[in-house]
Amino acid sequence: MRKGRSGKAALAQCDRIPRDTQPFSYRRNVGSSRQRGNHPNGLITDCAFPKPASRLGVEVVRMDLETLENTFLPDESRVKKGSDNIFAWYGRYQQAKALGEPAINGTVGSLLENDGSLAINSVVNETLRVQSDFDISSYAPLSGLPEFNSLASELAIGPRLASLRDLGLHTSAVATPGGTGALYLSARTMLAVGDTILLRSLHWGPYDTLASECGLQVRHWPILPEGEAPHPKVDLQTLEIELDAIASSQDRVLSWLNDPAHNPTGLSLDGDGRELVLDAFINCARRHPKVGITLFLDTAYAVYAEEPYGWSETIHTKFSWVEWPENLLICWAFSASKSHTFYGMRCGSIVFLHPSEDYVSRLAEICSVTGRGTWSLAPRLPQATLLDIHRDEEKAAAWAAERDRLMALLSSRRAHFNRLIEAAGIPLMPSNDGYFAFLPCDDPLSIAEKAAESHFYAVPMTGGIRIGICSIATHDIDRAAEVLIASWRAVEE
């Protein structure tokens, strides 16, 4: 067994190491009684770091931050800059509030009660607190609890799940740490490094981060048509062009579509809009039979939409009479963050729909392995909690009643906000459902800064300002709209 070195030997070893000044330098502290006290295993029990190493005649090495980054980090790591824009503006709101200012919070993507506290579905938290010690402490299987995967398919697809299966379609699911985990799995497993992913021109900012982390390029199709179009919310021509361009240049196509209750606009497609988009993917699959075409539906906010399962209805109607191309895959990202006010528990799932049962099972296996190598596995406790709620008729009904209360809170705020903005003649993107509204403008940062002067905080993004209807108290909607209108006019007019 190797013996520990004495304190003197250890300090002698330290003297052979080049040292910098504070905080990268240290000294022997000769003569200190503390230095002479050794650990039973021969380790030093105290080291002092106060004086520059140069006083001991040791070579001093100074490296600036850029040199250190170049030494330790590859190019793809060094390009990462700054904090998340949303949290940066939320921090400014918090600072103003702490100073006693009458600040209004329009920044965060969490639903708040009118008193500013986090809106929490009490049924969920009460159920979580009575879970067994085993479900609190144990691992889940790599793919998630089997019953949870079945439940996730039900919660993502909705009442049409059984009817879709009657059409010969099959599902599988893998538990993920939130909806973001589902997005990551799709990008990491369905495209190759260097491939291109298709997004709408306005989207949740971390989509770009996820694409970058997976080594993907990004192409866009407009959130709204710029000219005449068959539908006011679908630029069908550009969508078809972009799909064909990607399908002609790589072996697989993946597109993330956040609908309904889009973040950051609140826009939702109706049945006609959904059918146009679905037809575009079906037709692309038929034109490119050797290319895998995946439509990935990010439905994180769907529970607060007028048609939470609209896509399932559209898919069922379409494939009741149209043959499903074998090279078409449809996926859902289920997230419990919003639906169950479970933000920090990181509970979600990726759900697959395809005619081949073997293929959806294989997808689940692949994604489980990818998850194992990324976050190990999704936590067991929130999965067990959701199972407890939705397998108990009384608890499920109580959860739904609280969900309906929260949806009514959101809907009343949005309706009032939309009326005020539209009455002022300010251009607002269609805001139908969910947590947000979006004000398009040429200089979002200047408008956001102007609004902050009057203590209303929202998030400037490329092309406009995201307003968190979810976080503005009902009694603050009037003042928030007033400040936003005045700020827009001061900068844009």
- Report the C-alpha gap between 439 and 435 in whole angstroms: 14
299 closest CA partner among 254, 269, 329, 342: 269
Q: What percent of the chain has pLDDT over 90?
A: 80
Distance CA 84, CA 452 (A): 18
pLDDT of residue 4: 45
Q: What is the chain's mean pLDDT, rounded?
A: 89
Q: Give backbone dihedrals phi and psi of 255, rounded to 5 degrees, phi first.
A: -130, 130
CA dist 195 and 398 (Å) reads 45
Pairing state between β 104-105 and 456-457 = parallel
Q: Would you tell me how many other CB atoms lie within 10 Å of the CB of residue 370?
A: 16
- Cα-atom radius of gyration of the chain, to the nearest Å? 27
Distance CA 317, CA 488 (A): 43
pLDDT one-digit tens code per residue, 258-315: 999 999 999 999 999 999 999 999 999 999 999 999 999 999 999 999 999 999 999 9
pLDDT of residue 19: 42
Give the model's pLDDT for residue 52.
Answer: 53
Give the β-pairing of 292-298 and 464-468. Answer: unpaired
* CB distance 280 to 243 below 8 Å: yes
10 has a pLDDT exceeding 60: no
Q: Which CATH number fits domain 85-120+396-492: 3.40.50.1100, 3.90.1150.10, 3.40.470.10, 3.40.50.150?
A: 3.90.1150.10
User: Domain residues of the chain, as ranges?
Assistant: 7-62, 85-120+396-492, 141-378
The confidence score (pLDDT) of residue 67 equals 87
pLDDT at 477 over 50: yes
Residue with tokens 């699911």: 173
Task: Read off the pLDDT of residues 403-440 as tens digits, 9 standing for 90 and up.
Answer: 999 999 999 999 999 999 999 999 999 999 999 999 99
**Nearest residue to 489 via CA among 456, 450, 453:** 450
Supply the pLDDT for residue 57. 62
Judge whether residue 15 has pLDDT over 60. no
Is 285 exposed, middle or buried (CB count within 10 Å of its CB: 0-12, 13-18, 19+)? buried
Assigned architecture for domain 141-378: 3-Layer(aba) Sandwich (3.40)
User: 17 pLDDT exceeds 60?
Assistant: no
Interior CA angle at 93 toward 454 and 433, to 5°?
A: 90
Q: pLDDT tens, 335-363?
A: 999 999 999 999 999 999 999 999 999 99
| 462 residue type, one letter | T
